[in-house]
Amino acid sequence: MTMTLVETITVGSGGAASIEFTGIAGDARDLVLLLSLRNSVDSPSATLSFNTGGTYSRVRLLGNGSAASSDSASVDLQSNTSVSTANTFSNSSLCVSNYASSAAKSYSVDSVNENNATLANQAIIAGSWTGTAAITSLEVTPTSGNFVEHSTASLYIIS
């Protein structure tokens, strides 16, 4: 098994409304995306989208520093926000197994906020995307606002 860094996107000084990898080759087994994110507004989440179309379903286990819950989330990722401790970023990882298969894709997300306060979300998500085409593009979009400078997304393939 070999894990190879394909590319890293680093958001520049203007911020970014989304970050997207396109042209993903279908010659590996699994995809791993590592994210370090911060939103320009007080919105602690971001979503993933693969290719276009298809529908997503999720089961999420969420802790916020004082309580735990589970739900069928409408978002995939935790992101630091404009009110998080200064200069801190969230940490998230996404794993998509068999991303080039002709079946629906399952994925997992492990995501945490970094915040020097009681409120800091930690989420584990089991997700499914109904698309049956190989994943060739992957976009990360904040729920609102923009990703700020120094946010990063690194795409790896596992062969």
Partner 1 sequence: MSETPVKIVVDLSKPKGQRESIIELTQAEIDEREVMATEAEAQRLVDEQAKADAEELRQSGLDKLIALGLTEAEALALVGA
CA 65 distance to own-chain centroid? 21
DSSP reduced 3-state for 105: strand
Regarding 22 and contact with partner 1 (CB under 8 A), the answer is yes
| Least distance to partner 1, CB of residue 84, Å | 17
Coil, helix or strand for 87?
A: coil
Please, what is the minimum distance in Å from the beta carbon of residue 98 to partner 1? 19
End-to-end CA distance of the chain: 6
Counting every residue written for the chain, the total comes to 159
Of 12 and 65, which CB lies nearer to partner 1 in the complex structure? Answer: 12
Site size toward partner 1, by CB under 8 A: 31
- Residues at the interface with partner 1 (CB under 8 A): 6-7, 9, 11-25, 43, 45, 67, 69, 71, 74-75, 141, 143-146, 155
